[in-house]
Amino acid sequence: MTIKDNLLEILRELPDGVELEVAGKTRKPEEMLEAVETGATIIGENYVQEAERARALIGDRVKWHLIGHLQSNKVKKAVRLFDMIESVDSVEIAREIDKRCRQVGKFMPVLVEVNIGREPQKSGVLPERVEELVRAISAFPNVRVMGLMTIEPRSADHEGSRCYFKQMKNIFERIKNLALPNVEMRYLSMGMSDSYRLAIEQGANLVRIGSKIFRD
Ligand SMILES: *Cc1c(COP(=O)(O)O)cnc(C)c1O
């Protein structure tokens, strides 16, 4: 199977209203270009530097999302490179994004990353802190919360993952129902190669898939 075959198979399978994000981690820009030429419209990058290289080849015919952890010293570059930042997990980083956006007259859609499995080594805000963080970010004029993102625990079995996705959907709906100003709960980004079907069943509308597309 080629990148093209893998991607077309996934695209055919996704229900209406679910968007695919191609996770480009460690892949060569040429491989990502093949995905784009096959019909990928969103690329998720973990690292600012990798995105810079890939974007130099592919350009702005696709949307670029940051899905990896963002350090404050990389925000300036990230603001220039990305169309969405999915990994916001603190007021401080949101404030820095807002500041850098204001300097260049840009406006950044963001997702709040949730550490749904409460894993100590992982980034993301704890489930009980999501609302507080969304409320705080809503005060920043050049940043707009557009939903939530999570990376579920790797160790979880099928039922475990389902349970995490369900919790995410509950948090998502609860915050959506608050109808906060400057918050538009549109995207629930969850599910990867081994879990996207389950995530979609539980309400994901943005899935991030890497290895299932790029493996041969
Ligand atoms: C690598 C990665 C993915 C894709 O994972 P696969 O298992 O390769 O599909 C999705 N989201 C994030 C944040 C990642 O780092």
pLDDT 10s digits, 20-42: 999 999 899 999 999 999 999 99
* Closest approach atom of ligand 1 to CA 213: 9
Q: Are 7 and 38 in contact (CB under 8 A)?
A: yes
Q: pTM of this prediction?
A: 0.97
Mean pLDDT within 98-125: 97
Q: Tell me, using a 6 A CB cutoff, whether residue 192 lines ligand 1.
A: yes
Centre a 10 Å sphere on the Cβ of residue 118 and count the other Cβ atoms it contains.
11
Residue 5's pLDDT band, with cuts at 50, 70 and 90, is: very high
Residue 216's pLDDT band, with cuts at 50, 70 and 90, is: low
Single-letter amino acid, residue 132: E
Q: Tell me, using a 6 A CB cutoff, whether residue 23 lines ligand 1.
A: yes
Q: Are 156 and 164 in contact (CB under 8 A)?
A: yes
pLDDT at 29: 94
Mean pLDDT within 60-86: 97
Residue 155's pLDDT band, with cuts at 50, 70 and 90, is: confident
pLDDT at 114: 98
Q: Tell me, using a 6 A CB cutoff, whether residue 46 lines ligand 1.
A: yes
Q: And the tokens for 207?
A: 């899935």
pLDDT above 90: residue 215: no
- Determine the residue of 113, 208, 212 to mutate for testing ligand 1's pocket, defined as the one with the most ligand atoms within 8 A of the Cβ atom: 208
For ligand 1, atom 6, the nearest C-alpha belongs to: 210
Q: And the tokens for 190?
A: 């969850």
Q: Tell me, using a 6 A CB cutoff, whether residue 25 lines ligand 1.
A: yes
> Which residue, among 172, 192, 193, 194, has the nearest Cα to 183 in the 3D structure?
172
**What is d(CA 122, CA 31) in angstroms, rounded to the nearest whole number?**
28
Centre a 10 Å sphere on the Cβ of residue 12 and count the other Cβ atoms it contains.
7
